[in-house]
Structure 1
Amino acid sequence: MRQFDKKLFNLFYLILVLGACVLALGWSSNLVLASGIKAANTFGGWSVHVMGQKKQKVCYIHGKPKKSSGNYAIRGDSYIQVVHRLKNKVRNEVSITAGYTFKKGTEVAVKISDQTFKLFTDGETAWSKTASDDASLVAAMRAGTKMIVTGRSSRGTLTKDHYSLVGFTAANRSIDKSCGYKN
């Protein structure tokens, strides 16, 4: 009799654990859906994301470097984002996050082919000075094949992040379409 009780208990426990897993998976996927962010597609190393609806819609591209160099002990994630925000009439706003705090007063150099763009820094992020600078940088990214981002940390460490631009043009066209911009 006791052996039967143990088997029944094990079966009950297994059903309980499986049920909890199913509920947890359903709940976590609902959280992603509730956040309103959807990954629309990936083009090369560039992922496209869309969140919000109608005039509140935000569409952005996210890319990570293929290679990073520099003599640093600890560094967080580095990435580039290109954002459209309909509410603010923002198109192709470029931001570069370094994974460290930039040295105060320094600029980030972005080299694509024979062009170099200078971005100002604030904390861990670098930005173009004007919307026109963003447009020029995005045009170069669409025309190029690789990009090197050079920055200096608050500790003086020089870093270089190497990005592939393969797929960037398709990703940029995708956010244009998702946010209702003509190419």
Structure 2
Amino acid sequence: MHKLLPFVALLAFAEPVAAKDSLGVFGEWGAFRDPQVPRCYAIAKPAASRLRRDYEPFASVGTWPRRNIRGQVHFRMSREIDGDRPITLTINDRRFTLTGGGGDAWAKDQAMDAAIVAAMRSGARMVVGATGTNGRRFSNSYDLDGAATALDAATVGCAQR
């Protein structure tokens, strides 16, 4: 059973105002459309961990057609981030330094978003790591199986609206 399915089920039980249209589950990734905004996104949960978490982590790549934003990368980290330390993303042999704060991390600009999405399409695994407010390093690992298809589904899902 895919680890994303419980996450999909959680989204399905969200209140109707926040209803999402499922565009499909592809490997470890899902694609959704939120017609209220409108926005579309591909999303995944990281590998399971027994370590303490401050937040429920995920990785997502979103599109907001009315804002002319495509392929924006966002990570909800499992821990509160020390804002003075680097946040790194590694996809196969590519390494990116992200920006962020609180429990969130993003690409620094649109060019980095595009480079990350390109690496995700051809990658097998990605790891995002940071230093928590307790001074300890932590990371969240993602299987990229299905990521490219979910990214495509999210892009097409918003192009049809």
TM-score range, shorter chain: 0.7 to 0.9
Partner of 1:154: 133
User: Once the two structures are superposed, what CA deviation does each residue of 1:52-104 show, in whole Å capped at 9, x if it has no partner?
Assistant: 26xx52001111112448xx544321111110001110001001111321002
> 1:84 aligned to 2:63?
yes
> 1:126 aligned to 2:109?
no
Q: Tell me: CA distance 1:159–1:52, structure 2 relative to 1, closer, same or farther (3 Å).
A: same
Kindly, what percent of the aligned residue pairs are identical? 24
Partner of 2:89: 110
SS of alignment partner, residue 67 of structure 2? coil
**Could you say which structure has the higher helix fraction?**
1
SS of alignment partner, residue 25 of structure 2? strand
SS of alignment partner, residue 61 of structure 1? strand
Give distance in 1, aligned partners of 2:53 and 2:112. 31
Of 82, 98, 101, 2:77 maps to 98
Of 126, 145, 161, 1:166 maps to 145
Of 50, 56, 60, 2:41 maps to 60
* Higher relative contact order, structure no. (Cα contacts within 8 Å, ≥ 6 residues apart): 2
Of 118, 122, 140, 1:139 maps to 118
The RMSD of aligned alpha carbons is: 2.2
Decide whether the 8 Å contact of 2:126 with 2:143 is kept in 1. Answer: yes
Decide whether the 8 Å contact of 1:112 with 1:140 is kept in 2. Answer: yes
List gaps (5 residues or longer) in structure 2. Answer: 1-11
Decide whether the 8 Å contact of 2:23 with 2:154 is kept in 1. Answer: no
1:13-32 alignment to 2 at 5 Å? 31-32=15-16
> 1:35 aligned to 2:32?
no
Decide whether the 8 Å contact of 2:89 with 2:96 is kept in 1. Answer: yes
Give distance in 2, aligned partners of 1:156 and 1:145. 29
Give distance in 2, aligned partners of 1:179 and 1:115. 29
Give distance in 2, aligned partners of 1:36 and 1:76. 22
Give distance in 2, aligned partners of 1:74 and 1:165. 22
Give distance in 1, aligned partners of 2:27 and 2:86. 28
Moved over 4 A (4+): 28-31
